[in-house]
Amino acid sequence: MFAREPRSRDWLAQDKDGKPTPYGGADYSSFTRVTRHLACLQHPEWRAYLKTRVERAVQAGCDGVMWDNAFSPCRCPRCQAGFLSWRQRTGAPDDPQALGAYNREMMSALLAELQAHAHRPDFLMYANCHKGLYSVNRAANAIDTEDGFEPGLDSEGRVVSNIGALRYLRAEGEGWRPVRVEYQFRLHARPSETRFTVPLKPRSHQLAIAEAAAHHVGFELYSLGRFQRDLFLRDPAAQANLKAAGAYNKFLGKHEAEYVNPRSLARIALLAMMMIAKCRRARNSASAVCFDVLFTSCLTEDRLKPYDVLIAPDLISLSSGQAALLARHVEKGARLVISGRFWERDENFRPRNQSILDDWFRLVDAEKPAADMKMQKGSGVVNYRAGQMDWEGLVIDLTKWAAPLVRVQGPSPFRFNRHAQAGKNRWLRTCSIMARSPWRVSLAAPAAKLTIITPDDGPAGNTRIRSSKNGTEFTIPSVDIYSVVLKPTHLSGLLK
């Protein structure tokens, strides 16, 4: 780059000490010099260069551009002046949280500017955003990240899944942005091993594809490194691995009609500030809960309406309008569960003089509230839990506060999701990590017929059902990895 574009020597991003910032995804310990640098996103010549890249991609007939790890903060004098100007405009303090908010806003503006420069609505524009920068995705028209974990059981027998992150990214997609995730972290790899040297095993590939599809997200298969080499050399094990992934993708293609226009049936929502993904590593108890993610920046009465329970972990920054929306929703009969720090800063991260918890709970000492408090507010309830959220305990309470439409009993770890398709089917998606176990399922709705489809060697077709006054019960004889249960129904009464 320095040889072909000498001006680029002046485009380097700087750290707080004024030194060039190396690209963080590489190890330079074996080199005499750093070979990859990050650029300052505020430098006008670099921004013009990025636009030229977009122009040439459009002229070449490309479908889109993906900026791979290209969005990173810089502390050069230009960027520090930009942060100061932003603080003067918003009144934000000079602290790490405000700096993070400024960087996300600046990066989002640049990504939106690059997308607009393409002059083509169908031109995909997305960035490989990691935890802490996910909100930048909303400036693009597609979403991509490599933050996924290999799903399965860890060395202690605990379930590792990506359900929390997938729901978060799906919410960012708003139902129209394509979302795809690469699962780069390996469950049982040694410290020296990476995705380059340890490809997912065939079963892990299938489970990852199923988990992503069950939550309306695309799985991005990683084929570089050893896997790519072995495929090139026609290694039988590598080819069998690719064939296993292909079998699941073929199943999704064959049943495409069952995967379009999903509509959530969740009655529980997790409130987030669009900075990080919560609940990435789901534990066993999480299988009892289906939830959506709502971003505080997008709250409206209509968006809150479907939810009986709202969970608010560490919502530090809230505007007065957002807090008022939550209060009105609770007064109409919902439950708000708060933990940790809440409404301590406004939407521009300016500290508040008084916490809203003082008003709601009349706390004598807001710095040291009781461990668990409850208050009736209108027809609803506010629960406050000091410290970090006890997720395991919360799951037990959630099954009481928002009775699940689906209950599952079985001997091994189990994950499922449910959604509706207006005018078509309501259906469950099921993923199992341990092989072949019978599952008893209770459905809080009547059913005349249920149909099972699966890419595995297992029972498919219509299944026997038992009707009761509380709904419908049926048994899935075995789930190797993945199956889908389709239930024809009208959605009245299921959707608020």
Q: Where are the domains of the chain?
A: 6-259, 266-401, 406-488
Q: Are strands 482-488 and 450-453 parallel, antiparallel or unpaired?
A: antiparallel
Between 1 and 467, name the one with better pLDDT.
1
> What is the per-residue pLDDT for 431?
62
> What is the per-residue pLDDT for 219?
96
Q: What is the greatest pairwise CA distance in the chain?
A: 76
Question: Tokens 């699966």, residue?
Answer: 454
Q: What's 136's DSSP letter?
A: G
Superfamily of domain 266-401: Class I glutamine amidotransferase (GATase) domain (3.40.50.880)
Q: Are 334 and 310 in contact (CB under 8 A)?
A: yes
Per-residue three-class SS string for 348-377: CCCECCCCHHHHHHCCCCCCCCCCEEEEEE
Q: Are 152 and 143 in contact (CB under 8 A)?
A: no
Question: Tokens 């208050």, residue?
Answer: 375
Mean pLDDT confidence for 207-224: 93
Residue 424 has pLDDT above 70, yes or no: no
The amino acid occupying position 144 is D
Q: Are 318 and 346 in contact (CB under 8 A)?
A: yes
Q: Are 323 and 331 in contact (CB under 8 A)?
A: no
Between 399 and 458, name the one with better pLDDT.
399
Euclidean distance between CA atoms 51 and 69, whole angstroms: 17
Mean pLDDT is lowest, of 36-50, 62-76, 360-374, 446-460, for 360-374
Q: Are 214 and 255 in contact (CB under 8 A)?
A: no
Instruction: Look at residues 430, 434, 432 and name the one whose alpha carbon lies nearest to residue 416.
Output: 430
Beta bridge partners of 407: 442
Give the whole-number percent of the chain exceeding pLDDT 70.
88
Domain at 406-488, CATH class: mainly beta
Q: Are 337 and 326 in contact (CB under 8 A)?
A: no
Residue 334 has pLDDT above 70, yes or no: yes
> What is the per-residue pLDDT for 267?
93
The amino acid occupying position 358 is D
The amino acid occupying position 488 is P
> What is the per-residue pLDDT for 203?
93
Q: Are 102 and 74 in contact (CB under 8 A)?
A: no
Residue 461 has pLDDT above 80, yes or no: no
pLDDT digits (tens, 9 = 90+) for 375-415: 888 999 999 887 788 888 898 899 889 888 888 887 667 78
Q: Which helix (H) or strand (E) holds 222?
A: none
Mean pLDDT is lowest, of 104-118, 212-226, 351-365, 377-391, for 351-365
Residue 364 has pLDDT above 50, yes or no: no
> What is the per-residue pLDDT for 282?
42
Token representation of residue 163: 């359900």
User: Any idea which fold 6-259 has?
Assistant: TIM Barrel (3.20.20)
DSSP notation for 30-96: TSSS---BPBPTT-HHHHHHHHHHHHHHHHTT-SEEEE-S------SHHHHHHHHHHHHHH---SSH
In which band, very low, low, confident or very high, does the pLDDT at 419 lie, cut at 50, 70 and 90?
A: confident
Give the whole-number percent of the chain exceeding pLDDT 90.
48
Residue 103 has pLDDT above 80, yes or no: yes
Instruction: Please state, in angstroms and as integers, the Cα–Cα distance from residue 422 to each residue in 84, 264, 426, 483, following that order.
Output: 49, 10, 8, 21
In which band, very low, low, confident or very high, does the pLDDT at 260 lie, cut at 50, 70 and 90?
A: confident
Sign of the Cα pseudo-torsion (440, 442, 447, 448, in order): positive
In which band, very low, low, confident or very high, does the pLDDT at 434 lie, cut at 50, 70 and 90?
A: low
Residues 6+ apart with CB under 8 A from 487: 425, 426, 427, 428, 443, 445, 447, 449, 450
> What is the per-residue pLDDT for 452?
86
> What is the per-residue pLDDT for 399?
85
Q: What's 185's DSSP letter?
A: B
> What is the per-residue pLDDT for 423?
57
Nearest 5°: the CA angle 440, 443, 444 is 145
